[in-house]
Amino acid sequence: MAKKPVRHTALKENVTRLMISLIVTLMFATSFDVFAKTHALADIQPLLTSKSFSEKQKAIALIAQSDVENKDALLNGLLDKRVVYGKKDKSLWYVISAPLKKGSEIENLVTGKKITVIKKRDYRQVTLNNNMRAQIKTVLATLALRGDDLAQKRAGAQRLIGQVDQPLAHAIRDLLDTESDAVTYVYINVAMAVYTMTGQGTDAEKIQSIKVLSSSGLPEAFEALQAARAGLSDDNSPVSRAMNAAIADYKQTQKVVNVAQTLYFGLSLGSVLVLAGIGLAITFGVMGVINMAHGELIMLGAYTTYVIQQLLPSHTGVALILSIPCAFVVSGFVGVLLERSVIRHLYGRPLETLLATFGISLILQQAVRSIFSPLNRSVSTPEFMSGMIDVTPMLQLTASRMYIIVFCLMVFFALLFVLQRTPLGLQVRAVSQNRSMARAMGVRSEWVDMATFGLGSGIAGVAGVALSQLTNVGPNMGQAYIIDSFMVVVFGGVGNLWGTLAAGLSLGVFNKFLEPWTGAVLAKILVLVFIILFIQKRPKGLFPQRGRMAEDS
């Protein structure tokens, strides 16, 4: 009879404990929810500064599940030994100028206040153990991989390569089955392959991991293969042979990628040369005028882009698009004024035209210096033109250069349409082939000369818009392209647009393939020597002009 009250008391105590634990759990969940909503780092400060590693692990879990701002920087700071706390008030600080010493700048993680350390002994580093480091790595990886920001997701997956340990491997292995982004999937797969290759797996598992690394094409995979190969002593083992084959395949693929990148850079340089020379091709071809001010017309187009961007500083993309027609109008108007005031009085006298346009180029340079100062101006690149285009993991192309190539082709075909499908183009072709016969047929050659010179000058201004995205805008920028423009025109064939396109692209590619062997300056000299020798054999260029005037010249 005496045992029943004992059982009843024990049962009552168990129920009481269960109720208390349930209430504590609910209170913890409620307090955690409040913490997540208030974004307060002060709530976990006592846990993180505790001497107990279990309390610190709770703090890391709270940071991971809360909305604390810059949690990635905080967690990385813990790994990098940049998070310290004051011995007196247990306040958390981030060491900006590491390592912590007298004179180091630190920032309070709760208030954001920045101070300079006077006494190093007043602060103590937040220490971690191996379990905490593994926990932080797992948290950082899962935060990045489960986030909505695709760029951060890919960057987080890329950081995993070479950093995966056993706890982290279990955490991210399941993500491979659910990952939808192909780039992120490749990075995670490579990270797991590096972990398997350098771990305690079987030879078959390691060989399979080596195949994954070899097919990925990532530089990080190649570095991991080289590092793992250097650590092997047996050159005849199956794993060693698989590594040697993978490294050889990567090097061979890298050679192909280097050729593709050089070709791409050459095409982008050639596109710039085409844009710079295409306006000169029609003026030189139709009028026979050697316009030494053509580079300054390119400069005016670049400065037009700069001015419009200053008017629309927060809309760089819109400003760049508006700059294209504005630069065409500005440079075209200056070209018409130049033709009407100077050049039309000098037809038939090429030497005097050369000297006059050279003097005008100096005047335009000085005018720009007086208005904008001699200092170079920088034109911002719109966001849609920045970044890289990932063709393969090994081959990445600059987006801005791709836009330059596409823009060059658009300008070329637009100009080709004007010359082939419009009345102005018909008259321009008639005057360029036989001026006397065109006059006899009623074509106003003076008006055609003015319109042609304005069109060529406007195209030069459009070229300046493109060049403003590749280099700084300055008073002397036109001088860097005037010689190249003449080389493109002469090599391609005077007055022939297809010849200008072929000459510009081929010279750009030729130049870029020479640069790794000879250097930039010697490469330009060799290109010039090549053109001189070529002109000796074919004085009229790749695509000679047709017509009686062309045959008589």
pLDDT over 50 (residue 24): no
Instruction: Compute CA 255 distance to the chain's CA centroid, rounded to the nearest angstrom.
Output: 22
**What count of other Cβ atoms lies within 10 Å of the Cβ of residue 531?**
18
What was the pLDDT predicted at 364?
92
What is the band of 494 on the pLDDT scale with cuts at 50, 70, 90? confident
**Is 256-552 in CATH node 3.90.1720?**
no
Section 80-86 average pLDDT: 87
Residue 179 above 50 pLDDT? yes
Q: Is the pLDDT of residue 308 over 90?
A: yes
Pairwise CA distance, residues 490 & 486, whole Å: 6
103-139 pLDDT tens trace: 888 888 888 888 888 888 888 888 888 888 877 877 7
In this prediction, residue 550 has a pLDDT band, given cuts at 50, 70 and 90, of: very low
pLDDT at residue number 39: 41
Distance between CA 524 and CA 176 in Å, rounded?
A: 50
User: Residue 313 has what pLDDT?
Assistant: 85
Alpha-carbon Rg for the chain, nearest whole angstrom, is 35
For residue 396, give the H/E element and its range.
strand 396-398
Write a three-state SS string for 2-44: CHHHHHHHHHHHHHHHHHHHHHHHHHHHHHHHHHHHHCCHHHC
Cα distances (Å, whole numbers) of residue 77 to 125, 127, 319, 421: 11, 12, 40, 65
Each residue's pLDDT tens digit, 313-366: 888 889 999 999 999 999 999 999 998 888 888 877 878 888 898 999 999 999
Question: Which pLDDT score is estimated for 2?
Answer: 43
Give the tokens for residue 329.
Answer: 């109008």
Is the pLDDT at 98 greater than 80? The verdict is no
User: What confidence score (pLDDT) does residue 320 get?
Assistant: 92
Residue 175 has pLDDT above 90, yes or no: no
> 429-475 pLDDT, tens per residue?
787 777 788 888 888 878 888 888 898 899 999 999 998 888 889 99
Helix or strand or coil: residue 302? helix
Q: Can you give the pLDDT at residue 65?
A: 75
Which residue has 């300046």 as its token pair?
464
> Which pLDDT value is given to residue 306?
93
Q: Which of 378-382, 390-394, 416-420, 470-474 has the lowest mean pLDDT?
A: 390-394
